[in-house]
Amino acid sequence: MPPIGLARRELILMLAAGLASCAKPAGKPPLRIGFQRSGVLLLAKSRHGLDRPLKDLASAVTWVEFPSGPPMMEAMAAGAIDLGAVGDSPPIFAQAAGSPIVYVAAQPVTGASEALLVPPGSAALSVSDLKGKKVAFTKGSSAHLFTYRALKQAGLSLSDIQPVYLSPGDAAGAFGSGAIDAWTTWDPYYALAVRDQKARALLTGEAVAKTSTFYVATRRFAEGSPAVLSAALTALKAQAAWGMAHVADVAGVVSAASGLPQDIVTASLRRGVYAVDPIDDAVIATQQASADAFLEMGAIPKRVDVAAAVWKGWAG
């Protein structure tokens, strides 16, 4: 995981202290959840889906929004949050950096919600046409791994392009201004770029190896409050099932909660699934392959053992 600056680290630590001070002193642990502008966690937050299941177990449930997975992992490493949901790559960087995180549940990825985009006027017709071009993605995110695998399929490597490491929001601006030639991102940024900037997908995640997104927690929270974590995962699983059965309702809920247009939310929902599943050996093997890919590209300093960071205290 890339180091963070002092000011940013101090901000995260202040956040941790602030959240801790908000906890009710009732002898029960609080649950601090990091979420992004999509997915099961946003749905659960919007529907207050954890309030009743956790009312006798947690002194408080607080929510902190993040733009992507890497800063969420930094906050978790600093002790600012206990539980979150991220793509396949951030936990790998966190584990490589020695962060005490554990995988606690998984959600399969169809691949359709992630794409390598070019502007409407681009002459690029395939990934191989990006040789020497500026390609933006969020470092340490699922887009990082997708870019690597897409290039590898085309007989290229990251050294054959000019990687530009940007957050999704900054990348959207750079893409619109023409400062970059291509952009790897995920929904809702993918859907927004297609609608607002007429972006064209050279490749989607359906064409590369399938992975999972993950629910992750601090090891301290998982081992110290297993009943709270198990109850939270069970409640989130129920929210995911409700979401899959009520897609139109979910679009309205998520749109209202996130401020995203309902057509963007609907497009995103149609490309993915909502799920909260226990982590099995097949998921571990796939995630290990992703970790090994990051080692191969020199993005992490040492091999990580994914299985060693899996918490199996919840059976679903």
**What is the C-alpha to C-alpha distance for residues 288 and 284, in angstroms, rounded to an integer?**
6
Residue 66: CB atoms within 10 A of its CB come to 20
| Alpha-carbon torsion, ordered 242, 248, 250, 255, to 10 deg | 180
- Partnered with residue 182 across adjacent β-strands are 135
Q: Which helix (H) or strand (E) holds 118?
A: strand 114-118
Tokens representing 264 are 């963007």
Identify whether the C-beta of residue 85 lies closer than 8 Å to the C-beta of residue 40: yes
Rounded to the nearest 5°, which phi and psi values hold at 136? -95, 145
Q: What is the pLDDT of residue 261?
A: 93
Taking alpha carbons only, the member of 189, 106, 204 closest to residue 149 is 204
Q: What is the pLDDT of residue 2?
A: 39
SS3 of residue 214 by DSSP: strand
Strand 101-108 with 200-204, pairing: unpaired
Q: Which of 1.10.8.640, 3.40.190.10, 3.40.190.290, 1.10.10.10 is the CATH number of 114-207? A: 3.40.190.10
Q: Which residues of the chain are in CATH 3.40.190.10 domains? A: 6-109+211-309, 114-207
pLDDT at 20 over 60: no
pTM: 0.82
User: Per residue in 140-196, pLDDT tens?
Assistant: 888 999 999 999 999 999 999 999 999 999 999 999 999 999 999 999 999 999 999
Tell me the pLDDT band of 254, cut-offs 50, 70 and 90.
confident
Q: Determine the residue type at 71.
A: P
Residue 23: CB atoms within 10 A of its CB come to 16
Cis peptide before 188 (omega within 30 of 0): yes
CATH fold group of domain 6-109+211-309: D-Maltodextrin-Binding Protein; domain 2 (3.40.190)
- Look up tokens 């995110």; give the residue: 141
